[in-house]
């Protein structure tokens, strides 16, 4: 629910109760990922979305019911073959939506989570979404060194849930895990055939990891960089443009960038690494076209576990660049991490088209996409691949 956190914090600060519906599980071709949320306050104002339109009306009514009853509930929505006009997802997917009323001051865990999200502090919101009725909606706000909230007479469960939540926060992951009431982990196989009695002895938690926006650093203050900076912001990156030439690296030329820095690229990267401000989600786009900038920068970048490192240039420039990097001592494994020439083959010509090609490759690399047209195969539209090292938001020091 990070995309609506600002509005939720405003309601919370004003003392207004609201209900928030959160997608906690997705199966098949569903339109939104886990963590997508819709919230409704006591006046009937709504923000956010859980399905892009398919079931918004039904979820809105569930939020109003939750506000009236004060009770959280888990609901499933999916396409019905028997009645295609029933409330469901016409795309054929299934989503589980957890609807929870929120009263400011009533839940230490929820209150603390909203405060941390508002301040930009990394936090994992851990909520019980299935299990004993008395546990539903119980929440912990888990940070790197502590947690807020309590599970009352289940201290072992509280400690285990906080430990699991912290591990998922460290990895920047959103998802579920299941624990027994004594805190022991339960594997999916062990819980997939639960009886009613079993469901009273286990609790399923949904974790939303709220971490700062990933960084995109664009090196080279050229016209292509302005377009890449714009689309980087659109994708949710915190974008920095860096160039050693002050006449080109100006805020006037890059008004959409979050920061414009005048410095030698390799020196700036060294400083950001030393300060712990780059991590496994960081994307580097090297657009300088100049070996005196490119080589020292890439020599460092390709030895770091960054999320993406791409460089612009012709085929000839790419081959010459590889030779220079080999001379600098980089291994073939390190060189294989370089995406060059940067971008997918879209036939791009203009800076804007090139930026789309660059962004497409970054998304495909991050999400495990094939880069093929969806119409060319019958495979899944959304790729659920295992967690990769490049997904981890750990700091690099």
At residue 394 the predicted structure's pLDDT band, cuts being 50, 70 and 90, is: very low
Rg of the Cα atoms in the chain: 23
Please say whether the beta carbons of 29 and 101 come within 8 A.
no
- Collapsing DSSP to helix, strand or coil, 55 comes out as coil
CA-CA distance, 50 to 117, in Å (whole number)? 20
Instruction: Put residue 129 in one of left, alpha, beta given phi > 0 → left and psi -120 to 50 → alpha.
Output: alpha
- For residues 9-40, one letter each, b for 16 or more C-beta atoms within 10 angstroms of the residue's C-beta and e for the rest, the string is eebbeeebebbbbbbbbbeeebbbebbbbbbb
* pLDDT of 83: 39
- The tens digit of pLDDT for each residue in 67-88 reads 999 999 999 887 544 433 344 4
- The tens digit of pLDDT for each residue in 316-349 reads 999 999 999 999 999 999 999 999 999 999 999 9
CATH tag for 215-391 (out of 3.20.20.100, 3.40.50.720, 2.60.40.420, 3.40.50.300): 3.40.50.720
Q: Which residue has the higher pLDDT, 386 or 97?
A: 97
Task: State yes or no: pLDDT of 298 exceeds 50.
Answer: yes
Task: State yes or no: pLDDT of 55 exceeds 80.
Answer: yes
CA-CA distance, 149 to 101, in Å (whole number)? 17
- The tens digit of pLDDT for each residue in 107-137 reads 999 999 999 988 888 999 999 999 999 999 9
At residue 31 the predicted structure's pLDDT band, cuts being 50, 70 and 90, is: low
Domain ranges for the chain: 1-106, 109-211, 215-391
Look up the pTM and report it.
Answer: 0.68
Task: State yes or no: pLDDT of 95 exceeds 80.
Answer: yes
Please say whether the beta carbons of 23 and 97 come within 8 A.
yes
Q: Which residue has the higher pLDDT, 99 or 190?
A: 99
Please say whether the beta carbons of 332 and 302 come within 8 A.
no
- The tens digit of pLDDT for each residue in 185-215 reads 886 544 444 545 555 689 999 999 988 888 9
Q: pLDDT averaged over the chain?
A: 87
């Amino acid at each position: 629910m990070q995309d609506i956190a600002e509005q939720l914090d405003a309601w919370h600060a004003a003392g207004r109760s609201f209900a928030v519906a959160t997608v906690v599980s997705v199966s098949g071709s569903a339109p939104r990922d886990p963590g997508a949320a819709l919230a409704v306050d006591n006046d009937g104002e709504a923000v956010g979305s859980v399905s892009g339109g398919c079931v918004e009306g039904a979820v809105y009514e569930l939020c109003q019911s939750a506000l009236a009853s004060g009770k959280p509930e888990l609901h499933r929505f999916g396409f019905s073959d028997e009645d295609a006009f029933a409330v469901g997802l016409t795309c054929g997917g299934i989503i589980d939506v957890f609807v929870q009323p929120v009263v400011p001051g009533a839940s230490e865990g929820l209150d603390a989570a909203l405060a941390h999200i508002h301040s930009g502090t990394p936090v994992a919101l851990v909520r019980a979404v299935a299990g004993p009725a008395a546990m539903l909606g119980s929440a912990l706000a888990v940070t790197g060194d502590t947690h807020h909230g309590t599970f009352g007479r289940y201290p072992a469960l509280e400690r285990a849930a906080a430990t699991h939540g912290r591990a998922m926060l460290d990895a920047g992951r959103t998802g579920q895990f299941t624990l027994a009431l004594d805190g022991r982990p339960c594997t999916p196989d062990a819980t997939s055939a639960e009886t009613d009695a079993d469901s009273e002895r286990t609790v399923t938690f949904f974790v939303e990891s709220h971490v700062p926006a990933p960084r995109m650093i664009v090196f080279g203050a050229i016209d292509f960089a302005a377009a890449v900076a714009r689309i980087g912001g659109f994708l949710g990156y915190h974008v920095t443009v860096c160039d050693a030439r002050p006449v080109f690296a100006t805020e006037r030329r890059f008004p959409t960038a979050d920061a414009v820095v005048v410095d030698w690229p390799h020196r700036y990267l060294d400083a950001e690494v030393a300060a712990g401000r780059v991590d496994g989600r960081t994307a580097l786009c090297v657009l300088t076209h100049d070996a005196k900038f490119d080589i020292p920068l890439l020599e460092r970048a390709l030895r770091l576990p960054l999320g993406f490192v791409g460089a612009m240039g012709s085929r000839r420039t790419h081959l010459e660049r590889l030779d220079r990097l080999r001379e600098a001592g980089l291994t073939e494994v390190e060189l294989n991490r370089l995406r060059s020439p940067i971008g997918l083959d879209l036939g791009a010509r203009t800076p804007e088209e090139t930026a789309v090609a660059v962004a497409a490759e970054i998304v495909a690399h991050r999400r495990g996409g094939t880069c093929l047209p969806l119409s060319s195969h019958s495979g899944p539209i959304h790729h659920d691949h295992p967690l990769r090292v490049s997904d981890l938001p750990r700091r690099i020091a």
